[in-house]
Structure 1
Amino acid sequence: MSVHFFYAQTTTPQKETQNGFGQIDFLSIKMPGNEKNMDFTGIHYNLKINDWSYAGVGIYGAVGGIRGGFFTLGINAGIQQKITDNLFIDTGFHFGGGGGAAAPDGGGAFILPHLNLGYNFKYFSTTAGYSYVNFFDKGAIKSSQFNVALQIPLSFENANFKERENSFKIDDFKNSSWNTRSNRISLLMHLNNLSVTKGNYKGKTIRLAGFELNSYLTDNIFFFVKADGAYHGIKAGYMDVLLGGGYHLSMNKNRTNILAKFGIGAGGGGGVETKGGFLIYPDISIEQKLFENIYASINKGYLMSPDAHFSSSTLGFGLKYYIDKDGTTSKENDFSIGKFKGLETIIKQDLYFNASRNTGINENMHQISLQINFFLNKYVYASGQTSFANFGDAGAYAEGIVGLGIQSNSFFNNTTSVFAQLLGGAAGGGGISTGQGLIAKPSIGVNYRLGNKLNLRGGLGYVKARGGSLSSAYLNFGINYDFSFLSVK
């Protein structure tokens, strides 16, 4: 009886809460000469390191002026110090790379420090104050300006990364802190086609590849983030990033879904004339279940500037994966199994050796890169990556690529693992010779654990453009933040 009792006990992994917040900010940058200001808006996610400091990543895009298609990616770090219960000071900096739209961005590297006064309204906070931007690597953009921001608490539950792929019966969670209502998210990987109906590419079809992440606020209402990059149809360089909300309607015993969405954001590049870059995006999607949580998706909509200077109809096809996470109960579903899935977020700096330019000149190029790996099993992961040039006179160059990788078990006293991956997708801009934008990037590398969630990461590989002369060896070095989350079904 004692032996039976012992083996009947199942200890579920310890639940941890990572506090953080999302931020949307806006600033109007004074441009050189007599050019109109470039209105700049950013989307960020920051982890709370402790009660008074934070760090994270953010992407900016132009939404006003004449530089539609100007995008950047960077890292954030800052301090929030309370003055009263609700009033606080927020100061910090953003460092990154990017550019576009023939702007004087030099190599693309820039800094953006700020000093703001904020007020906490319980469910959200607002801040406003002074900021300074400087594209310091041979760029001519340098400006001081007022900025405003909206911050929304966005925390998540997690467990140690080593728990990935461990499975438990739902009953095992009944007396644990995981026994709460689950949250639903979905990830769509798709190919999208823009049929231009008004603008300088009227009559052309721009072929895009990208992703869309949905997070559900209720059973039917969700918000989404969507990003696409061109790989065929025009010269390389077009990109759009959109944020919005939608309504989800299920039928046919939840095997068929209809989603109505509306988003706003920034887009341009590759010679697509979107003026300041601000775009609106109404869309409707139909999804059909294939198996488990995987659906086939088709969407039809429009992407346009508000004054219809640029307009296009959109038609996309993709695969969507639904995840119910961080809890074991639901109004609609009766779950039976919980499994912990691994996730890695990587910030790194790439160096391309002798990157080929359209001018025929070869020169080293650096870029800042964000990569996210979702583990399909204990060793194999699906990956998405975006990168923006920050040194090497190619400030408008950017990449949006996806692929698969494999990672080993840890060795050397659980400190070290190795990986190999193959990514491919859209890239262009900055005078880099990528043809119409399709590239492939195989690489290998090593992770070295620093602590509970942080690793040093280094890699080397090769990048090759189809239709362009870019063909370079590269290496990178960065930081890997990893954890696992509870997925139930």
Structure 2
Amino acid sequence: MKKFLLLLVIVLCIQSLVAQVDKIPKKKTQEAFGKLDFLSIDMPETDIPNEKNMGFTGIHYNLMLNDWAYAGLGIYGAVSGNRGGFFTLGVNAGIKKYLGESFYIDSGFHFGGGGGAGAPDGGGAFILPHFNLGYNFKHFSVNSGWSYVNFFDGGEIKSHQFNVALEIPLDYDYADFEASENEFEIIDLKKSDWNVNSKRTSLMLHLNTLKINGNTQGINNGKTIKLAGFEIANYFAKNWFAFVKVDGAFDGIKAGYMDVFLGGGYHLSLNKNSTNILAKFGAGAGGGGGVDTQGGFLIYPDLSIEQRIFNDIFISVNKGFVMSPNSHFYTSSFGVGLKYYVERNGVINDHSYSEGKFKGLDVIVKQDVYFNAKRDGQPTEDLHQISLQVNLNLNKNIYLAGQTSFANFGNAGAYAEGIVGLGANTNPFLNDKMTIFAQALAGAAGGGDISTGEGLILKPSAGFNYKLNNSLDFRAAGGYVKAKGGSLSSTFINFGINYHISFLKLN
């Protein structure tokens, strides 16, 4: 009898252990790649005689849908020529087919919106198909070939050109969105597929100032630009990281200035990891708002000091420079930010954690329509824009949101937004198919003759998500946008697709 009871206890313990491991969400892997590309666009002769070609460079992130098809997002900016401050945002789709072990063909299509710098961009909508031949070197690949750009909504920019691109595999692990906010002990996670090295990521929301120096900036000489933006960094070694930084002006000059940087840096931790010193260097594109950055190519050296204020949240102070290499545009920068560090998608690391929690992440691509968007000089008409929003769930019902948008129809090609805020959503209902949300965002906007004053806008909205499958929702909303220092005061609607997943965060 004792042996039977002992055997029964062992069986029950094994069943309990298996049940604990089974309920841990399955780790899935999405194949993806980042892409940097460059093309030299033949510009039409308009307000600049014998205008130089516009050097156009893009940063893209694409998901492999199967063995040969991909889709994703990309942002372009001018880096040479005469149109510094020309930016676009768009969606990608393409086919990548291997001809052998290393050679492949890449045929793709990009649709987006944007413009700026007084260029003849019309409403901003454009297409950019390409056909390239590439070679895979295992850890990276290169490809080049033909491309065509056409700003077809009343724009004059149309050009066939050669393009060249660099691609790097950037796969990621994830779990289904339904796993978000579920917590598990580390001891249980170590018995699952999540028992791998964790990856470190940081997200920072910041305010920056740029003090303009030099005699080349006309009425903006000596002014201070106030900017709001965000920075995302991923660590590829213990102390080394790569980052993307985006800022938009909301005060100090006429609205419209924006910059985007891609770079790397070194992280030094002190005081038992409570104080960090970071040295960074980035390169990218910037301009707009009457600021003369010539072709638009800028560099960004910076030094930051961070101090922990709560768990994984740090306050950051940075000092550096934003400038063109020839110092035609030269500013000293100073900023403060709130940074959030995440150890994600693995339980093996140098620190001590007791549990892991799955956090929800939304990536939303949508089309906005502003009704009767007021202009500074042109007649009032509707404004259309392509928009990207990213939500990070703080809990089941509250999320932090960041959004960027670029005009693509409505005779305002240079208009763009960069806004952040908070939102709330209901629990799912109607057979777990529907959720309702409300959000309030604010930040920088300008360009395209849209009347936003110095750039600060407020943008509350409400809407719904309808579940299509485990990763995709249809999303629609309506709201109101108001410029604090301008005449823009419009109702709007939007609709799009919400791609959502969850990732494991260590606590």
TM-score by length of 1: 0.99
Q: Structure 2: how far apart are the matches of 1:301 and 1:363?
A: 41
User: How far 1:285 moved relative to its partner?
Assistant: 0.2
Q: Structure 2: how far apart are the matches of 1:360 and 1:228?
A: 27
1:411-430 pair list within 5 angstroms: 411-430=429-448
Aligned to 2:77: 61
Aligned to 1:346: 364
**Which residue of 158, 161, 170 maps to 2:186?**
170
Residues 378 and 449, structure 2, Cα contact 8 Å, conserved in 1: no
Q: Structure 1: how far apart are the matches of 2:168 and 2:81?
A: 28
SS of the counterpart of 1:171? helix
Aligned to 1:220: 239
SS of the counterpart of 2:118? coil
Q: Structure 1: how far apart are the matches of 2:468 and 2:147?
A: 33
Q: Structure 2: how far apart are the matches of 1:85 and 1:196?
A: 52
Aligned to 1:121: 137
Tell me which amino acid in the other structure corresponds to 1:127: N
Aligned to 2:221: 202
Is 360-369 or 476-485 further displaced after alignment? 360-369
1:455-470 pair list within 5 angstroms: 455-470=473-488
**Which whole-Å deviations, capped at 9, do the CAs of 1:136-165 have from their partners, x for residues lacking one?**
000000000000000000011100101111
Tell me which amino acid in the other structure corresponds to 2:439: Q
1:5-154 pair list within 5 angstroms: 7=16, 9-10=19-20, 11-33=23-45, 34-154=50-170
Aligned to 1:452: 470
1:484 aligns with 2:479: no
- TM-align CA RMSD: 1.0
Q: Structure 2: how far apart are the matches of 1:409 and 1:146?
A: 50
**Which residue of 381, 386, 394 maps to 1:368?**
386
Aligned to 2:279: 260
Q: Structure 2: how far apart are the matches of 1:452 and 1:150?
A: 32
Is 359-368 or 273-282 further displaced after alignment? 359-368
Q: Structure 1: how far apart are the matches of 2:15 and 2:337?
A: 47
Count how many residue pairs are aligned between Structure 1 and Structure 2: 488
Residues 80 and 89, structure 1, Cα contact 8 Å, conserved in 2: yes
Q: Structure 2: how far apart are the matches of 1:79 and 1:482?
A: 24
Tell me which amino acid in the other structure corresponds to 2:413: G
**Which residue of 396, 408, 416 maps to 2:426?**
408
Residues 419 and 445, structure 1, Cα contact 8 Å, conserved in 2: yes
Tell me which amino acid in the other structure corresponds to 1:23: K
1:306 aligns with 2:325: yes
Note the residue ranges of structure 1 that are not aligned, 5 or more in a row.
none
User: How far 1:255 moved relative to its partner?
Assistant: 0.3
Q: Structure 1: how far apart are the matches of 2:16 and 2:458?
A: 49
Q: Structure 2: how far apart are the matches of 1:168 and 1:428?
A: 45
User: How far 1:362 moved relative to its partner?
Assistant: 1.6
Aligned to 2:6: none
Is 85-94 or 195-204 further displaced after alignment? 195-204
1:274 aligns with 2:286: no
SS of the counterpart of 1:113? strand
Aligned to 2:375: 357
**Which whole-Å deviations, capped at 9, do the CAs of 1:187-209 have from their partners, x for residues lacking one?**
01000000111231221110000
Residues 329 and 335, structure 1, Cα contact 8 Å, conserved in 2: no
Q: Structure 1: how far apart are the matches of 2:476 and 2:381?
A: 22
User: How far 1:335 moved relative to its partner?
Assistant: 1.7
Aligned to 1:328: 347
User: How far 1:79 moved relative to its partner?
Assistant: 0.1
Q: Structure 2: how far apart are the matches of 1:171 and 1:179?
A: 10
Tell me which amino acid in the other structure corresponds to 2:248: G
Tell me which amino acid in the other structure corresponds to 2:148: Y
Alignment identity in percent?
63
Q: Structure 2: how far apart are the matches of 1:79 and 1:328?
A: 36
**Which whole-Å deviations, capped at 9, do the CAs of 1:60-85 have from their partners, x for residues lacking one?**
00000000000000000000011111
Q: Structure 1: how far apart are the matches of 2:362 and 2:130?
A: 29
User: How far 1:407 moved relative to its partner?
Assistant: 1.2
Residues 354 and 364, structure 1, Cα contact 8 Å, conserved in 2: yes
User: How far 1:4 moved relative to its partner?
Assistant: 6.5
Tell me which amino acid in the other structure corresponds to 1:58: G
1:187 aligns with 2:206: no
1:394 aligns with 2:406: no
**Which whole-Å deviations, capped at 9, do the CAs of 1:15-68 have from their partners, x for residues lacking one?**
100110000000000000221100000000000000000000000000000000
SS of the counterpart of 2:482? strand
Q: Structure 1: how far apart are the matches of 2:326 and 2:336?
A: 28
SS of the counterpart of 1:112? strand
User: How far 1:386 moved relative to its partner?
Assistant: 0.2
